[in-house]
Amino acid sequence: MPKYKVCIVGIGFVGLTLALSLTKRGQHVIAIEKDLDVVNELRNGYVRFDEEDLLTHLIEAKSKGLFEIFSPEENLEILEECNVFIITVGTPLSHGVVNLTSLENATYIIRPYVRRKDLVILRSTVKLGITENLVKTILDETTHGYFLAMCPERTVEGFALREMGSLPQVIGGIDQNSSKAAATFFKIFGTMIIQVKDTQTAEMIKLVNNTYRDLMFGFANEIAGICNEFGINSLEVIQAANHNYSRSDIALPGLTGGPCLEKDPWILAESAKSKEFVPSITMASRQVNEAVLSSYLGKILGSFTSPIKVAVLGLSFKGRPSIRDTRGGFVLPLLEFLDGKKTVYSAMGYEPAGRVFIEHAKLTISESLSEAVLDADLIVILTNAIDFLTIGTKLSDLANSNAVIVDYWGVLDKENLGPNQVYFSFPGETSILTIS
């Protein structure tokens, strides 16, 4: 196996899992991260993300001298030794437009150290054309003869370390030599290599993958909305429609967000609009998914005439697998909706995966489910965490006897609720199909 010295800029979920996947395979990684809290946490052996064996790999990599982390303000002369540079910084939306500031800054950080025949890989999600129009343009100001490729990250949070060794790797270089250099590098992971025509094709593939998933959820959520209007259980509809019918694979409805799905369809739409093409289906699906929380809750709540306690259950952006990542979650949209309705309330949140941090003036986060639901008037279940399957008795014993429970995933067994507690399930209550 060839040995590389790899610089990774941006040590969030994507950067850290990639870095430790590399160190696990004997590669030396120099990590650059602007968030000083993250730098100090990793130096002290703490990880924010919930991945099996992630902390174990960090401790092992540090003990072997294979992982070092620096902030951009520190002396970065060590990057002179690197021959692979990977950019994994975030590309968030700002007023509906992708913000490329971090990507631009990351490229300037590595520019002084990129030499002839070094490999530069862009792994961040970007709109079409950015690899060449931004990254290449900046690098070309000082150096030439390097290799540059777009190699999108496509792992799912919770299983990223496992998927790094199993998912096909898409590679699109600025030329054949760049594609070949990137393919040789990713052979470290022993996975299938898919070389595509160019960087723009690779950029498009990442956007297509996430937008397709968003479309699937958007259709499921629209079906659930229609079923709710007719008093039909959408779970029963979807389960029966899919059962032993190869031409139907409808997703389950629920809140759809996260750091990718909340923004990647809009990045695709922004790219399309630059060519005066309006991606109507993509935009409509994202709008459906973004409206699920407020449209459903708005129909249920009406208006409360007195101050209420709101229990918010599930603070991460998904419940399975259990993670502590709140990016693209629905806690703040929920509280902003209540604020917009001028609801007088206090909120207490609970995340079964562990302690998380979300800033809102009316939100207190508890590590106890019992404390969160105690005397609650409104209980909102935002994720399908397994822990929420069996909490009915706690709600009947601890919550307000007239509490309203809004379950966006239909995970709660309502049989254990109090007689006067009102239960609403967005997808419908879990049904058992009669199959003969």
Q: What digits encode the pLDDT tens for the residues 4-27?
A: 999 999 999 999 999 999 999 999
Give the pLDDT confidence score for residue 413 in this predicted structure: 83
Give the pLDDT confidence score for residue 431 in this predicted structure: 63
24/149 Cα distance (integer angstroms): 23
Instruction: Give the chain's mean pLDDT.
Output: 94
Dihedral angle sign, alpha carbons of residues 68, 74, 75, 77: positive
**Residue 6 CB partners (closer than 8 Å, separation 6+):** 19, 22, 27, 28, 29, 30, 82, 84, 85, 86
Give the pLDDT confidence score for residue 2 in this predicted structure: 76
Burial class (CB in 10 A: 0-12, 13-18, 19+), 141: exposed
Give the pLDDT confidence score for residue 433 in this predicted structure: 64
Give the pLDDT confidence score for residue 340 in this predicted structure: 92
On whether the CB atoms of residues 405 and 422 are closer than 8 A, the answer is yes
pTM score over 0.85: yes
Domain with CATH 3.40.50.720 in the chain: 5-197, 202-436
Rounded mean pLDDT, 340-365: 94
34 band by pLDDT with thresholds 50, 70 and 90: very high
Rounded mean pLDDT, 315-329: 93
Give the pLDDT confidence score for residue 207 in this predicted structure: 98
Give the pLDDT confidence score for residue 390 in this predicted structure: 86
Output Rg (C-alpha) for the chain, integer angstroms.
Answer: 24
Query: What's the longest Cα–Cα distance across the chain?
Result: 73
Virtual CA dihedral for 240, 242, 245, 248, nearest 10 degrees? 140
Give the pLDDT confidence score for residue 303 in this predicted structure: 61
Does 44 score more than 70 pLDDT? yes
Does 305 score more than 90 pLDDT? no
Amino acid sitting at position 94: S
Does 109 score more than 90 pLDDT? yes
On whether the CB atoms of residues 385 and 410 are closer than 8 A, the answer is no
5-197 adopts what CATH topology? Answer: Rossmann fold (3.40.50)
Domain 202-436 CATH class label: alpha beta
Virtual CA dihedral for 162, 164, 169, 172, nearest 10 degrees? 150
On whether the CB atoms of residues 176 and 147 are closer than 8 A, the answer is no
What confidence tens digit (pLDDT) does each residue in 120-175 have?
999 999 999 999 999 999 999 999 999 999 999 999 998 999 999 999 999 999 99
Give the pLDDT confidence score for residue 145 in this predicted structure: 97
- Poorest-confidence range of 30-39, 186-195, 296-305? 296-305
Rounded mean pLDDT, 263-283: 96
Give the pLDDT confidence score for residue 1 in this predicted structure: 67
Does 271 score more than 70 pLDDT? yes
436 band by pLDDT with thresholds 50, 70 and 90: low
Give the pLDDT confidence score for residue 306 in this predicted structure: 79
359/125 Cα distance (integer angstroms): 26
Does 434 score more than 90 pLDDT? no
**Phi-psi region for residue 96, left (φ > 0), alpha (ψ -120 to 50) or beta?**
left
